[in-house]
Chains A and B, each alone.
Chain A
């Protein structure tokens, strides 16, 4: 086979051809499918927020969203306001309503990219914090905040619904690639439900966060005042990631909740 396929010119030609063909296919696919993908992701975000509010089709132990076809309508009905808080140098300097933000940025607040905002906080010290105000099925007003962090393999994120005392009323977590059966179980109802009723602030109003603790004294999580939930066995790093993202991201909202109490 000492033939044309060993020639440098052929190799080069082949490489160029391959790049063009594969690149073309991928670029075509990405651009033609991106509207459909973006639409799916939009609906998923709505479903996530609704889930944290307690609006879902849960059956037994598996987490089930409400139908994708119903999501936009339910979202409109149950999420009454989407606030955008501007965080700068340790405090919240501006609060915008959905309408004000839409006029300025031409984008729904729930589509704000949390990852991008986290990077902005790192580089420029300022960041937009979306906060969704909605009603749970019992008619209670809740505030849902998005959070994002790192697990063992890749990104993890979630939505936490709290009442005005910052007591957790619902949580939804998701992940990009945690280990199935271990870290991936953060999106199981038994883990997410544990957060309900946990306090984020102590009695004097200091933010404590919620620690995903292994071997804690209260595995059935009866004590809702210990700032701890039970960890998933074998998923230490993912659990630490959940702890960290609650501390880092939810902590930023504390000043806003303090203004609510006045």
Chain B
């Protein structure tokens, strides 16, 4: 990271682990539960949030001195919603196939509290460049957890990764299934996402004792 000062690079690296939006700041949980039954959906969602949070943080940061504090929530929401709708409409007109894959996520992105949370906590008080880095860092931390959860749920739940059967064929009984392994369909249900995140928190806090709550 030769381009970035030490302080700036911390903005990116912190949210990846020690200040992770999902496991520490408790932001953006709903979407982490809704879409992680499949690895591919987790990846698509992570990239979309990376884009929206990066651009949104810059826009809000540029506007931070002219936004009236009384209606700042409305302004923030309008900025996100407008941004997402514009992208959605443009994709619908020029990249229809892609837009169909993404349409599921439009509502989830607008209401993703990670976006509002970072606007409120960071972009309103910092310059555009630092806000951009903060947005990218937090979105990456968010995506990291999402992809991790998606990986375990898809692997254990349907025995596939990105749709490819990696553990063998459950009907033909090849690969792992030949020795009696069964898919755990329970992993596909949303409550299991909560439990997987809980376990990730366990691992993370065992490694870094400073994060333990009392």
- Chains A and B share a contact (CB less than 8 Å): yes
CB within 8 A of A18: which of B75, B107, B154, B158?
B75
Find chain B residues with CB under 8 A from A5 CB: 65-69
User: Is B78 part of the contact surface with A, judged by Cβ < 8 Å?
Assistant: yes
Across-interface contacts of B107 in A (CB, < 8 A): 177
Task: Provide the bound-state CA to CA distance between A18 and B66, in Å.
Answer: 12
List, in ascending order, chain A residues with CB within 8 A of B78's CB: 18, 22
What distance in Å separates the Cβ of B193 from its nearest Cβ neighbour in chain A?
11
Nearest-CB residue, chain B, relative to A182? B37
**Whole-angstrom distance between the Cβ of A153 and the nearest chain B Cβ:** 8
> Which residue of chain A is the closest to B74 with respect to CB atoms?
A15
The 8 A CB mask of A1-39 against B (1 = contact, 0 = none) is 000011000110011001000100110011001001100
Whether the Cβ atoms of A37 and B89 lie closer than 8 Å is: yes
A234 within 8 A of B: yes
Secondary structure dominating the interface of B: helix
Q: Which of A180-197 contact B (CB under 8 A)?
A: 180-182, 184
Asked if A184 contacts B104 (CB within 8 A), the reply is: yes
Q: B211 at the A/B interface (Cβ < 8 Å)? A: no
- Quick check: A180 and B41 within 8 Å, CB to CB? yes
Query: Do B188 and A234 touch (CB < 8 A)?
Result: yes
Residues on the B chain within 8 Å of A10, using CB: 68
| Mask: chain B, 186-197; 1 = CB below 8 Å from A; 0 = not | 001110000000
Q: Is the CB of B103 within 8 A of A176?
A: yes
Contact A6 B37 (CB under 8 A): no
Residues in B1-52 with C-beta less than 8 Å from chain A: 34-35, 37-38, 40-41
- In the bound assembly, the distance between CA atoms of A147 and B76 in angstroms comes to 39
Please, how many angstroms separate the alpha-carbon atoms of A182 and B188 in the complex?
A: 7
Contact yes or no, A177 B103, CB < 8 A: yes
Q: Which A-chain residue is minimally distant from B106 (CB atoms)?
A: A177
* B44: nearest chain-A partner, CB-CB: A180
Given A33-B90, A40-B92, CB of A234 within 8 Å of CB of B189: yes
Is A112 engaged at the interface, CB distance under 8 Å to the other chain? no
Instruction: List B residues 74-98 near A (Cβ within 8 Å).
Output: 74-75, 78, 82, 85-86, 89-90, 92-94, 96
Query: Shortest Cβ distance from B159 into chain A, in angstroms?
Result: 12
Q: Does B209 contact A (CB under 8 A)?
A: no
B-contact bits for A34-53, CB 8 A (1 contact / 0 none): 00110010001000000000
Question: Is B207 interfacial (CB 8 A cutoff)?
Answer: no
Task: Give chain B residues whose Cβ lies under 8 Å from the Cβ of A180.
Answer: 35, 37-38, 40-41, 104
With A33-B89, A33-B92, A40-B96 as contacts: A181 and B70 at CB distance below 8 Å:
no
Choose from B35, B69, B82, B96 the contact partner of A26 (Cβ within 8 Å): B82
Distance in angstroms from B66 CB to nearest chain A CB is 7
- Please tell me if A243 contacts chain B, counting CB pairs below 8 Å: no
A60 → chain B closest CB, angstroms: 10
A240 to B37, alpha carbons, bound, how many Å?
20
24 interchain pairs, CB-CB under 8 A? A5-B68, A6-B68, A11-B68, A14-B66, A14-B71, A25-B82, A26-B85, A29-B89, A33-B89, A36-B93, A37-B89, A37-B92, A40-B92, A40-B93, A68-B96, A179-B190, A180-B38, A181-B35, A181-B37, A181-B38, A181-B41, A182-B188, A233-B185, A234-B37
Residues of B within 8 A of A (CB): 34-35, 37-38, 40-41, 65-71, 74-75, 78, 82, 85-86, 89-90, 92-94, 96, 103-104, 107, 153-154, 157-158, 163, 185, 188-190
* 8 pairs of A and B residues whose beta carbons are closest in the complex: A181-B37, A181-B38, A180-B41, A36-B93, A11-B68, A33-B93, A234-B188, A40-B96
